[in-house]
Amino acid sequence: MGLNKKFLLKLLSGLSDKNIEFRELRK
């Protein structure tokens, strides 16, 4: 459930934040 909560928080944070994390993940 922790991951779900983090995902929701990220979505709330904004797409920009998500994009940044996605880029880091693809790194």
Pair of tokens at residue 19: 């994009």
Q: How far apart are CA 25 and CA 15, in angstroms?
A: 15
Q: How far apart are CA 2 and CA 26, in angstroms?
A: 22
Q: How far apart are CA 3 and CA 27, in angstroms?
A: 20
Q: What is the pLDDT of residue 17?
A: 64
Pair of tokens at residue 3: 């991951």
What pTM does this model have? Answer: 0.34
Q: What is the pLDDT of residue 9?
A: 78
Q: How far apart are CA 27 and CA 23, in angstroms?
A: 6
Q: What is the pLDDT of residue 1?
A: 56
The model's pLDDT over 5-27, given as tens digits with 9 standing for 90+, comes to 888 777 777 767 667 777 888 77
Q: What is the pLDDT of residue 15?
A: 67
